[in-house]
Amino acid sequence: AQSVSQHNHHVILSEAASLELGCNYSYGGTVNLFWYVQYPGQHLQLLLKYFSGDPLVKGIKGFEAEFIKSKFSFNLRKPSVQWSDTAEYFCAVNSGGSNYKLTFGKGTLLTVNP
């Protein structure tokens, strides 16, 4: 069964600091990987996704993530965070070729102080 672990429960940064949120998954086959963001009181929105090809993917709002197959990791990065990035961030995985089950990590709350 696939599973996702996010290492950081709560990250607190000041504006302009760099961000890296860890995500590791366990699944032996082909995977599709996603990062979603949930702003306070809102629904989940897709930040970026990886299916195949270049392991460094760029998403919206200056976020990027790198897929490292050997480490089963898909860490999210942003060089300079803003106060408006304060939100809950979820890593998710589903097995390639089928979307019947999207498994989420437990989420990381990012608080950016102005």
Partner 1 sequence: DTAVSQTPKYLVTQMGNDKSIKCEQNLGHDTMYWYKQDSKKFLKIMFSYNNKELIINETVPNRFSPKSPDKAHLNLHINSLELGDSAVYFCASSQREGGTEAFFGQGTRLTVV
Tokens coding 72: 């089963």
Site string for partner 1, 25-44 (x = CB under 8 A): -------x-x-x-x---xxx
Task: Please state the closest distance from residue 113 (CB atom) to partner 1, in A.
Answer: 20
Task: Please state the closest distance from residue 80 (CB atom) to partner 1, in A.
Answer: 25
Contact call for residue 61 and partner 1 (CB under 8 A)? no
Binding residues for partner 1, rule CB under 8 A, total: 26
Contact call for residue 70 and partner 1 (CB under 8 A)? no
Residues that bind partner 1 (CB under 8 A): 32, 34, 36, 38, 42-46, 49, 51, 88, 90, 94, 96-104, 106-107, 109
